[in-house]
Every structure is written in C-alpha cells, then in structure tokens.
Amino acid sequence: MERTLIGNLRQKIGEVVKVQGWLHTLRDQKKIQFLILRDRTGLCQVAHWKENDPGLAEVISALGVESAVTVTGKVIDNPVVKLGGLEMQLESLAVENNAEIPLPFEPFGDALPALDFRMDWRFLDLRRKENLLLFQVQTELLAAMRDYWLQNDFIEINTPKLMGSPSESGAELFEVPYFETKAYLAQSPQFYKQMAMAAGFERVFEIGPVFRADPSFTSRHMTEFTSIDMEMSWIDSHEDVMAFEENMLRYTYQRVAEKYGDVIQEQMNFELRVPEVPFPRLPMAQAIEVLKQRGYQLPPDKKGDIDPGGEREIAAYIKETYDHDFVFLTDWSINVRPFYHMRYEDAPELTRGFDLIANGLEITTGAQREHRYEVLKAQALEKGLGLDPIQFYLDFFRYGCPSHGGLAIGLSRLAMVMLGLPNIREVVYLFRGPNRLHP
C-alpha cells in the first residue's frame, strides 16, 4: 500500500490507508487508545479499541512517544475530532523504531531546556514544526536567489576550501596538516571568485562553507558558516553591486513571503516584510555623525568602524527616518577594509566598499575590487602583506582583468533577520563554535 501523507487524509475518507510518522502523543484509556501521529504535513488521530486486538493494545501501551511507526486504518469523517475533523480507525501498526523512555527532553513540552542542551539533541529539537519551517524557508530563499542569478546570466562555481595560503589576513585562520605541509581552511571564496572575473566568466555565484577561527561567543558568529557569494564584472562602481543586491533580496523576500508568509505569521507570530527598493544608503562618515548626534559612544578602538550596538542605533535612525529595515553603509575607511577593496581616486583614504545592515545586524560585506595590478600590489604592501603567498592572486590582474565587484552574505544571518530570530544557533542546522564540534 502506498503511503498517504497526513495532510492528504481528507481526500481518502472511507478508504483504508497507510500513514507513517512519529507517535506525537498517546492517550491510553480503559477501552480505547488514541494515538496522535505526526508527519511533516501535520497531525492526525488514530483510534484503537483495545478489545479488537488486545495483543496490539499491549504493544501500543508500551510505545514511547516519538517512536517511528507505520499504521494502516480506515479514514473516518468525525467532526468531533479536533485535528481536522478526521480519525483513522487502526487496523495494523508496525513499530519501525521505538523511542526509548524517557526522551532526553520533550521537544513539544511547554518549557524547553536551555539552547545548549537542545543543541546536544538537535535532531529532537528539529522535530518541532517551527524548526522545520526554518529550513523550508531557507530552501526557498536559496532557490529564489539561484533563480535570480540564473535569470541574470550568472554561473555557479564551487571553489576549494583547502588553500595553500590565507585568503585575507592571517587572523581567524584554521590551519590543517596537509601531507608534508600545511593547508588553511578557506575564510571566504574571495580570491577564487575574483579569479572567475579574470577567467572571463563575468558573473558568478557560490553557496558554500567558510571557516573562521574566531573565538567569540556572540549570538551571530560561528566558526563555520554558509556564505552566499557573488561577483560581477564590468561595473562602474560598488553602486552596481548594491543595486543588484537590493533587487535580489527584494525578489527573495517576495518569493518566501508568497510561499510561507502566512505560515510564518501563524507559527512564529512574525510578519515577514518585503523591503522596498532602493534601500537607503549612508556613508560611514555620516553614520558616525548620526551616532554622535544620538549620543551613542563608539568604543575608542573603532577608528572608522562601527560596533554591533552602533549598527542597531543606525538601524533605529533609518527606521525612524525612512521607515526601512535595511541600510547600506558605504565609503568605509581603508583602515578597516582589506587591501583588495578599491579606493576613491579623489578620497584615497576611503574604499568603494559597503556593508548591508538589516534590522540592526550586518548581513553583507561588499565592494568594488581593485583590478589594477600595480595599485593592488601597492595596497597589499601598504597593509603589510608579503607578496609571495598571494602572488598567484596578484597574477589574475596581469593579463586582462575587467573592473568588478561583489559581496558575501551569511546565510544564517539573513535567515535570522528574515524571520526575526535573535540567535544564529536557532537558525543554523548544526552550530559550530569554539566550544562545539558535536553532534
């Protein structure tokens, strides 16, 4: 017999069907047993009169909640039943995998244990439908972005994550033994996506893991995360990259809202707002002025940079002024940007770089890149980099490389702001941090 999904039971009234799922709850009464089963499409009630099969009744009584079972039974229209006005009358039950008693924690209980404990048992934590929704949303989000890139003639690349030299500075770098030598885990596909510009691909994207040996314990940092990267050629300035990103995000939000907006509202009590384009833009010098005016004190070491509190304060200002959840912070000081960001001809202390802040959280860094070999080399030297380890990268700019720019978005950060969730650990499938390598 073919499996019927619980969400489709109403079309099967009067028929005997097979349902497979988890034993969500069991009400074991004197004469009758009510099993609530759950699959990815919903819940249904299955009734079993004990006298019909006393042996089976014993098996059911001994079942742990969350056991994986296959049942067959007749579907009955029963308006009294709260779950969709339907009931299955049990005919057979096979225990596919019994759940031990007690569970490490009750995933559907009112009081959930601390996040760290839930992460130890992430597969149980993920059984809640709100958590399933997070990944349905992320699936749609990535599919929408992919579609958007394909509509705009982008090519997908997959760059290596094992590297012979660091892609940025030496900080936050994981070293791994590599036969007779050592390798580094990619902190970003930066160099290799730029290589695609030198290769004449013109427009590329990549969705893949990146690694940061960052020992911080914040609600927004992980040591491994999924980076959404793109790079495009023949641009006039970073403005072209920002314009592309805001339109892509608007399209992506729209797609997610169409498919899941109502469910997000219902299950998470959160309104997914599709942003208007263009997003406001604010040069960093002005942003720092705004912070001063609002009495926000940046830490003294933040020369030309902004801290998370400052990002939230700027977001509040943008919300009040433009009623917008997004803002591009532009024109960053060269002190806080890498050597490959292009600088303004007429203001060489500023880069043609931007960050995108969404609901007070940084979700993107982007820039126009420096594509002129001599200038790039000089900027690398000025930043104190040795040229030897990056010569392979510098070579990209020696034999015909167009102007280009691009950006990187952290997938989990985007999902956090899209769904209004405060902690990246809730959004990512499995969290990796300084103290967590398991499961």
Nearest residue to ligand ATP on Cβ basis: 410
Count of C-beta atoms within a 10 Å radius of residue 286: 14
- Token readout for 57 is 């009744």
Q: Comparing C-alpha atoms, which of 353, 351, 334 is closest to residue 343?
A: 351
Partner residues linked to 408 by β-bridges: 229, 365
Q: Are 89 and 52 in contact (CB under 8 A)?
A: no
Could you tell me whether strands 155-156 and 203-211 are parallel, antiparallel, or unpaired per DSSP bridges?
A: parallel
Q: Which is nearer to ligand ATP, 118 or 212 (CB)?
A: 212
User: Which listed residue (233, 410, 417, 418) binds ligand ATP by CB under 6 A?
Assistant: 410
Residues 227-246, one symbol each (x = binds ligand ATP by CB under 6 A, - = not), give x-------------------
List the one residue out of 64, 66, 28 whose CA is nearest residue 46. Answer: 28
DSSP 76-125: EE-TT-TTTTEEEEEEEEEEEEPPPSS-SS-TTSSS---HHHHHHTHHHH
Distances (CA, A) of 176 to 29, 105, 171, 392, 434: 59, 36, 15, 21, 16
Min separation Cβ 336 and ligand ATP, Å: 9
Contact at 8 Å (CB) between 156 and 206? Answer: yes
Number of residues engaging ligand ATP in binding (CB under 6 A): 15
Cβ 164 to ligand ATP shortest distance, Å = 20
Asked if residue 38 binds ligand ATP (CB under 6 A), the reply is no
Interface residue with ligand ATP among 193, 212, 337, 425 (CB under 6 A) is: 212
- Name the residue nearer to ligand ATP (CB basis): 138 or 365: 365
Q: Would you give the binding string for ligand ATP spanning residues 362-381, x where CB under 6 A is met?
A: xxxx----------------
Looking at the Cβ atoms of 43 and 408, the one nearer to ligand ATP is 408
Q: Which of 127, 161, 221, 324: binder of ligand ATP (CB under 6 A)? A: 221
List the interface residues with ligand ATP, window 62-121 (CB under 6 A): none
CB 424 to ligand ATP: min, Å: 6
Provide, rounded to whole angstroms, the least separation between the CB of residue 179 and ligand ATP.
29
| Binding of ligand ATP by 307 (CB under 6 A) | no
Q: Is the Cβ of residue 19 or residue 298 nearer to ligand ATP in the bound state? A: 298
Selected range binding ligand ATP among 40-48, 89-97, 220-228, 393-401, rule: CB under 6 A: 220-228
CB 101, min distance to ligand ATP, A:
38
Binding window for ligand ATP (CB under 6 A); candidates: 27-35, 98-106, 195-203, 219-227: 219-227
Q: Residue 332, interface with ligand ATP (CB under 6 A)?
A: no
Pick the closer one to ligand ATP by CB: 204 or 409.
409
Q: Which is nearer to ligand ATP, 22 or 225 (CB)?
A: 225
Question: Could you tell me which stretch among 37-45, 232-240, 388-396, 404-412 binds ligand ATP (CB under 6 A)?
Answer: 404-412
- Per the CB < 8 A criterion, the answer to whether 137 and 419 are in contact is yes
Q: Which two tokens stand for residue 21?
A: 């799922």
φ and ψ at residue 132, rounded to 5 degrees: -60, -40
φ, ψ (nearest 5 deg) of residue 227 = -105, 135
- Residue 240 or residue 362: which is nearer to ligand ATP going by CB? 362
User: Beta strands 224-233 and 203-211: pairing type?
Assistant: antiparallel
Is 138 in a helix, a strand, or coil? helix
Measured in whole angstroms, the distance separating CA 25 from the mean position of its chain's CA atoms is 31
How many CA atoms are closer than 13 Å to the CA of 246, on its beta-carbon side? 21
The rounded distance, in Å, linking the Cα atoms of 190 and 369 is 10
Task: Say how far apart CA 209 and CA 217 lie, in whole Å.
Answer: 19
Residue 409 in the binding site for ligand ATP (CB under 6 A): yes
- For ligand ATP, the binding residues in 334-363 under the rule CB under 6 A are 362-363
Among 408, 415, 419, 421, binds ligand ATP (CB under 6 A): 408
Task: Decide if 24 contacts 36 (C-beta within 8 A).
Answer: yes
- Positions in the binding site for ligand ATP (CB under 6 A): 212, 214, 221-222, 225, 227, 362-365, 408-410, 412-413
